[in-house]
Structure 1
Amino acid sequence: MKVYQRNYAILIICLITQLLTACSKELEINGGVPDLAVSLADKTYKAGEPVEFQFTGSAGLISFYSGETFHEYAFREGRTVEAGKLLLSFNSNVQYGNQANQFSVQVSSDFNGNYSSFEHIRAATWTDVTSRFTIGTNATYVASGVKDITDLAVDGKPLYVAFRYIYRPSAQYGTRRTWRVQNFRLISSTTSLGDQTIGDMGSSGFTLVDENPDTEPAVSTITATTLTLAGTAITPSLLTSENWIVTKAFPTGAIDMGPDRPIPVKGIADAPISTFNYVYEKPGTYEVHFVAANANIDGSKQTLQTLNITIVP
Structure 2
Amino acid sequence: MNPDFPFEIDPGFRSGFVCFVGRPNTGKSTLTNALVGDKIAITSNRPQTTRHTIRGIVNRPDAQLILVDTPGLHRPRTLLGQRLNDLVRDTYTEVDVICVCIPADEPVGPGDRWIVSQVTLMAPSTTIVGVVTKIDRVTPDRVAKQLLALSELLGSDHEVVPVSARTGEQLDVLVDVLVSKMEPGPAFYPDGELTDEPENVLMAEFIREAALEDVHDELPHSLAVVIEEVIPREQTNPDLPPMVDVHAILYVERDSQKGIVIGKRGARLKEVGTKARTQIEKLLGARVYLDLHVKVAKDWQRDPKQLGRLGF
Asked if these proteins are the same fold (TM beyond 0.5), I'd say: no
Higher relative contact order, structure no. (Cα contacts within 8 Å, ≥ 6 residues apart): 1
| Larger strand proportion of the pair | 1
TM-score scaled by length of structure 2:
0.23
| Larger helix proportion of the pair | 2
TM-score scaled by length of structure 1:
0.23
